């Protein structure tokens, strides 16, 4: 997933953030979808496709706009959009606020229900509702003049519930928080020379995963088998431990990402559109915090019961995730060739070098035949090596309750044939 062409991928688990909280639509101009592998340009993470969310510029906001909305589950929305000219600059500003209690579908039985049946306890909060509450604030600013464009954005998430529970055990009071802020400066010259259209961009993305209220993996009164390392261990437990205030783990992760990209289209060959690019990036998990009442350095499975007193293991060897960083350089080339009016052949490859595990190459080849104006056939082949995540701590149990494997790269490859035929004219 990209916003204005910039990846939202986090280092921690390789997604757009565990505390996502949705994306409001009032400030979106359009959504571009690249079906099929985009690995030759965007790397192996784009093995299934690319979604690029384009936010509104001054040209998309013809007049000031404001609105409010109220819906089910005490859902409240308010937004404002403004676009205009200021001292020779084209300016666009959007602000969106969202607050909801979330739907409260009743869960009849959860993971704790199964534990209760095994250990003879009655700790489960099921039947009970899911926890889907959240408060969102999204603000975006865009300033453009000539070939230069500056964008900045903030996505603030508060009071975000944990659904059916982090470990699939209901936790109605547990809540996350998060801040995501970004800025990018882009220079584009579509007439750089007779055959060149070039773009240069510098960007920054900061993200946080924070805990607003204690994350209870299992509810008060739960009884669990605990190993000598203090983690849940049903295979070689040291003892059965009752957690009078629940099994609690509060992991917090803070990241920042800086990137510099240069790309261009070359149209000097008849029937060809060649795209080339190169760039570098620096990503860092610069702060990790964790408090909990289980795990290494906290308990060893020999003492029961355990109350809700939390131990801060931040900046110790027992924290769930080490602080770390990664440098990345890349280059790519892709050629779109039209040998005939109804045929299009796309061939390309991307090379990445990562400071922590080495290099990858991701090639792509696709042939598209437009048999009729409403019938398209496509054959695609791609292969590559996906990047690893920064998650090297196989020794420790994640607050989600499951052990994580050591980080490593993974080979990926696929081919496919597709036919697109609209159901009607």
Alpha-carbon distance of 108 to 110, in angstroms, equals: 7
Q: Is the pLDDT of residue 397 over 90?
A: no
Alpha-carbon distance of 322 to 402, in angstroms, equals: 17
Lowest mean pLDDT among 73-77, 124-128, 380-384: 380-384
What phi and psi, each to the nearest 5 degrees, are found at residue 86? Answer: -140, 110
Q: How many residues does the chain have?
A: 425
> What pLDDT was estimated at residue 210?
98
Chain-centroid distance of CA 8 in Å reads 5
> What pLDDT was estimated at residue 34?
80
The model's pLDDT over 291-317, given as tens digits with 9 standing for 90+, comes to 999 999 999 999 999 999 999 999 999
Of 27, 1, 18, the closest CA to residue 207 belongs to 18
Q: Is the pLDDT of residue 97 over 50?
A: yes
Confidence of residue 411 (pLDDT cuts 50, 70, 90): low
Contact 188, 222 (CB under 8 A): no
Lowest mean pLDDT among 12-21, 195-204, 248-257, 271-280: 12-21
> What pLDDT was estimated at residue 421?
42
Alpha-carbon distance of 62 to 375, in angstroms, equals: 36
Query: Who has greater pLDDT, 83 or 412?
Result: 83
Measured between alpha carbons, how far apart are the two ends of the chain, in Å? Answer: 31
DSSP run (H or E) holding 166: none
Contact 119, 32 (CB under 8 A): no
Topology classification of domain 2-420: Maltoporin; Chain A (2.40.170)
CB atoms within 10 A of CB 64: 11
> What pLDDT was estimated at residue 37?
62
Token representation of residue 59: 């040209």
Q: Is the pLDDT of residue 385 over 80?
A: no
Q: Is the pLDDT of residue 251 over 70?
A: yes
Query: Who has greater pLDDT, 45 or 77?
Result: 77
Q: Specify the pTM.
A: 0.88
Q: Report the percentage of the chain scoring pLDDT > 90.
A: 73
Contact 257, 6 (CB under 8 A): no
Alpha-carbon distance of 308 to 12, in angstroms, equals: 27
Helix count (H) and strand count (E) of the chain?
2, 24
Alpha-carbon distance of 155 to 21, in angstroms, equals: 9
Token representation of residue 205: 């993305």
Q: Is the pLDDT of residue 345 over 70?
A: yes
Lowest mean pLDDT among 215-229, 356-370, 378-392: 378-392
On the CB side of 172, CA atoms within 13 Å amount to 13
Q: Is the pLDDT of residue 377 over 90?
A: no
Give the SS3 label for residue 324: strand
Confidence of residue 42 (pLDDT cuts 50, 70, 90): confident
Token representation of residue 383: 């292969």
> What pLDDT was estimated at residue 140?
98
> What pLDDT was estimated at residue 380?
59
């Amino acid at each position: 997933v990209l916003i204005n062409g910039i990846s939202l991928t986090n280092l921690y688990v390789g997604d757009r953030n565990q505390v996502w909280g949705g994306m409001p639509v009032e400030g979106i101009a359009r959504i571009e979808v690249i079906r099929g592998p985009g690995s030759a340009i965007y790397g192996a993470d784009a093995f299934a496709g690319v979604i690029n969310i384009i936010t509104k510029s001054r040209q998309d906001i013809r007049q000031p706009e404001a609105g409010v909305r109220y819906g089910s589950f005490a859902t409240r929305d308010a937004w404002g959009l403004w676009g205009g000219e200021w001292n020779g600059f084209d300016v666009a500003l959007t602000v969106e606020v969202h607050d909801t209690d979330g739907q409260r579908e009743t869960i009849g039985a959860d993971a704790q229900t199964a534990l209760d049946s095994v250990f003879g306890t009655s700790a489960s909060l099921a039947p009970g509702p899911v926890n889907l509450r959240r408060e969102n604030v999204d603000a975006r600013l865009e300033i453009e003049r000539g070939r230069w464009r500056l964008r900045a954005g903030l996505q603030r998430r508060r009071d975000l519930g944990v659904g059916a529970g982090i470990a699939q055990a209901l936790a109605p009071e547990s809540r996350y928080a998060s801040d995501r802020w970004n800025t990018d400066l882009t220079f584009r010259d579509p007439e750089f020379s007779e055959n060149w259209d070039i773009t240069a961009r510098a960007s920054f993305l900061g993200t946080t995963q924070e805990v607003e209220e204690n994350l209870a993996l299992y509810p008060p009164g739960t009884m669990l088998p605990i190993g000598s390392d203090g983690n849940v261990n049903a295979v070689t437990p040291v003892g059965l431990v009752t957690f009078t205030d629940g099994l609690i783990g509060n992991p917090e992760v803070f990241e920042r990402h800086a990137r510099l990209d240069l790309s261009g289209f070359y149209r000097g060959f008849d029937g060809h559109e060649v795209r080339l690019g190169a760039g570098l990036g620096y990503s860092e998990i610069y702060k990790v915090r964790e408090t909990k009442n289980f795990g290494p350095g906290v308990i060893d499975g020999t003492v029961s019961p355990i109350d809700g007193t939390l131990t801060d293991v931040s900046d110790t060897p027992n924290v769930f995730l080490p602080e770390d960083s990664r440098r990345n350089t890349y280059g790519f080339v892709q050629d779109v060739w039209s040998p005939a009016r109804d045929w299009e052949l796309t061939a390309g490859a991307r090379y990445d070098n990562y400071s922590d595990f080495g290099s990858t190459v991701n090639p792509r080849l696709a042939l598209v035949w437009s048999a009729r104006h409403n019938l398209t056939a496509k054959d695609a082949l791609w292969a590559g090596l996906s990047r690893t995540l920064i998650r090297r701590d196989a020794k420790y149990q994640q607050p989600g309750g499951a052990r994580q494997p050591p980080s490593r790269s993974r080979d990926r490859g696929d081919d496919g044939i597709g036919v697109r035929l609209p159901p009607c004219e």
